[in-house]
Amino acid sequence: MTFKYLVILIFLSFQVIRPSSSELTNLVLPSYVTQILSSTNQTEMPRLSIAVGGGAYRGAIFAAGILNTLDGRNHTSARTGIGGLLQTADYIAGLSGSAWLIVSWAESELAPLFELVLGQVGTGGSSRRAGWFTQYNLFDPTASLGIHSFADHLKKFLLRTKYWSKILDQVIQKGLAGFPITLVDLWGRVLSYHFLSGLDKPPLEFFDGNFSQGLNESFSGFLELPSFRNYSQPYPIITTLPLSVSNPGEFPSPPTSTQYEISPHEFGSYDPALSSFISTKHLGTRMYSGKPIDPKRCALNFDNAGFLMGVSSNLFPAYRLLSRAFFNLTLPLSKYVPKTVNAIIPNPFLGLGTEEFLQKTDEELELVDGGFGN
C-alpha cells in the first residue's frame, strides 16, 4: 500500500519546491518510514510537514521538546523508533510563540534542540551557542537578578537602562529610514535578544549590547545559509492576521480575514480573495497593482527576522494592559510612532485581489498575532 500523506501533527498541501530532506540525511530512519519512502515514483512520495502551536515561552519550549523527541540526533528517540522523523520533514509552520522557535531554529541551521534552547559550550577555540535567554523576563530582564544591597538596586537600574536604551536606539533607526514604527518593533528587538543570540566566541553577556542579536538578520537572508542551499532543513513558514477592518481592535479576527504566511521566499496568501505574494526580500516596498509605486525606491532588509517573529506574536491589541509596560518607553519615539499597537507594513497588495479582500484599498497592513483568528 502506498501512502500519499504521512501525518505527524498536520500536513500542509504545498507544491513541492525542493527535494525531500529524507534524501539528504545520513540518519537511520525508522523501518516503517523507510518502507514508505521506498517508492520510486516521486509524485507518490509523501511530503511530511509539521505545524506547531503558539503560547509564548511555554509554547516555544514545549514545541522544542516535541521536536527534540522526533530528532534523529536524540539517541533515546532513535532507539524507540521515532527519532529521525524530524529529518524527513519538508515544511515546518507555526505562529505566535512557535514563530520564535521556528525562526530561531532556522537561523541556527538546525542546531540540536537541546543546544538551541539551553546552549552548548564549544571545546578549545570553537564557537559556543548561547542558547535562548529564557532565564530573563521578556519585559523586565533584570527581574531575575538578585537584590541584596543598594549597590544591587543601582546595578539593576543601570542594566535596565542600558538594555532599553540599546533597543530604543536600534528601533529609532527604522523611523529615521522613513518607516512607521510601533510597539511591535520594540517587541521584535526584545525577542531577538532572547532568541537570536546565535554563535559567538567570547562569553556572551546579555546586557552588554556588544553583539548584534539578530539586528542585521533578514528572514530572506536565511536563503543563503548552507542548510538552505543544500535543502537539508525543513522549510520554515510563520503566519499572521490583519486587523479587523469592520471592528478595529476587536478580536478574534473575522473568518473572512486573510491569513498571511511568511517564508524566506515570499509574503502573501493563498486565500482566494487575494492569491498573491511578494518577495520577502522586498517587503516594505510601496506598491500598487503589483508594481512599485516608485521603481527607484525598493525596500531591503525590512524583513528583519526578529521583527517578523514579533509580527506573528503581536498580542498587544488583545492584551492592552501589557502595552502599558511600554508606555514610558514610547515617549521618546513620539515623532515616529503612530498611536497603534499593530505591526505596520506597507501594503504590497494595494489594488490587488477581489472585492472580498479587506485590505484592497489600505495603504498599510496592520498585522496581529497569527492565532487571533475566529
Shared-domain flag, residues 179 and 40: no
Last residue of a domain, one of 129, 160, 189: 129
- Is residue 52 a part of any domain in this protein? yes
- Is residue 41 a part of any domain in this protein? yes
In angstroms and rounded to an integer, the radius of gyration of the C-alpha atoms of the chain is 21
Beta strand 260-262 pairing with 235-242: antiparallel
Shared-domain flag, residues 29 and 176: no
Tens digits of residue pLDDT in 14-30: 333 334 454 444 555 66
- Tell me the mean pLDDT in the region 132-148: 83
Shared-domain flag, residues 84 and 178: no
How many domains does the chain divide into?
2
Last residue of a domain, one of 112, 129, 146: 129
- Is residue 203 a part of any domain in this protein? yes
In contact, 232 and 24? CB cutoff 8 Å: yes
Q: What's the CA gap between 244 and 14, in Å, rounded?
A: 27
Shared-domain flag, residues 118 and 184: no
Higher pLDDT, 221 or 142: 221
Three cell numbers at 260? 498571511
Shared-domain flag, residues 178 and 324: yes
Shared-domain flag, residues 208 and 119: no
- Is residue 329 a part of any domain in this protein? yes
Preceding amide of 346 cis, omega within 30: no
Q: Which of 5-14, 170-179, 259-268, 360-369 has the lowest mean pLDDT?
A: 5-14
- Is residue 188 a part of any domain in this protein? yes
Shared-domain flag, residues 257 and 309: yes
Shared-domain flag, residues 316 and 186: yes
Residue type, 7: V
- Tell me the mean pLDDT in the region 336-363: 85
Domain that holds residue 359: 168-219+242-369
In contact, 94 and 105? CB cutoff 8 Å: no
Residue type, 19: P
Look at residue 265 and tell me whether its pLDDT is greater than 80: yes
Shared-domain flag, residues 196 and 325: yes
- Is residue 342 a part of any domain in this protein? yes
- Is residue 80 a part of any domain in this protein? yes
Tens digits of residue pLDDT in 180-235: 888 899 999 999 989 986 555 455 567 766 667 888 899 999 999 999 999 888 99
Phi, psi of 281 (to 5 degrees): -60, -30
Tens digits of residue pLDDT in 298-307: 899 999 999 9
Shared-domain flag, residues 123 and 192: no
Last residue of a domain, one of 129, 150, 179: 129
- Is residue 48 a part of any domain in this protein? yes
Higher pLDDT, 219 or 88: 219
| Entry pTM | 0.83
Shared-domain flag, residues 108 and 191: no
Shared-domain flag, residues 83 and 187: no
